[in-house]
Structure 1
Amino acid sequence: MTPAIRLVQGDITRQRADAIVNAANSSLLGGGGVDGAIHRRGGPAILQECRALRASRYGKGLPTGQAVATTAGELDARWVIHTVGPVHSATEDRSHLLASCYRESLRVADDLGARTVAFPAISTGVYRWPLPDAARIAVATVRATDTRVEEVVFVLFDERSYAAFAAAAG
């Protein structure tokens, strides 16, 4: 099934969804941007589960393009799905890794039974992925992924990001 796609300009930590996707760093221990905001607003339960994941399955960190879920803590969601986006490179095509973030997050959402998933614009902040290309990859990947998720909400922080995703969504 192809999920319905909706765009929202705003703060992903204020969204109501079964699962909120975190543009995490590989340490899973919080950071800047979306990652830091989700950890701050979601509270210590998220960090506690991330530490447990690091102590068990992901001792070296979560690999780029993969996804894993934790509690959502105090967020208005049941789960946070953490995925590590690639750093943009002008000399190496890493678009398959960015697409994998969306595909793997939807796979994890399916495993959890999530019906609504909120995504940020993965890799477009400090990882410097150009917005038009990131939006194209995100929308195309969600549309091409067979999932039981009924609705994907792209939560875009500013007008520029919203415009890029609106153009990609057609």
Structure 2
Amino acid sequence: MESTIASMLNTQIQKEFESAYIYLGFAAFFDMKELSGFSKWYKKQAKEEEGHAMKIYDYLCRVNHPVELLPIGAPRNKPETVLQVLNQSLEHEEYVTNLISALYFQAEKEKDLFAKNFLNWFISEQIEEEQKARLLIGKYKTFGSTPEGLHSLDLELGRRIE
């Protein structure tokens, strides 16, 4: 494996754990507002991001490349409203999509078929993550800004299984 793609994958592990931290911060925001369904949603998102980091970790080990665990910083954004959280979530997913795209293009440049094949899963995952974020924003804008609608949406998000 070329050192550039390997280095980028190690950085992506860091970014995935940072994503988990961001989503855990969003969960805390909702816990403080007593919106346990939203909190549950973002705690599950945090777990997903940890899973993504570990998927990359496992891949690097399988292809016999050292894993470098880089430092994780505290989340910078401090949302004040529900809509800010939802918008920041989408913006973050779009940011991660750009990172994954850069990884794929680097693997392509290096003619690393194994890395390209591995990254296809992440490309599909990012389509799903952005779609979920947009759907949540749409639902909130449609009916979640009223107390009754927010309560209903909170209950819906609390039923999330995956």
TM-score by length of structure 2 reads: 0.30
Greater fraction helix: 2
Larger radius of gyration: 2
Greater fraction strand: 1
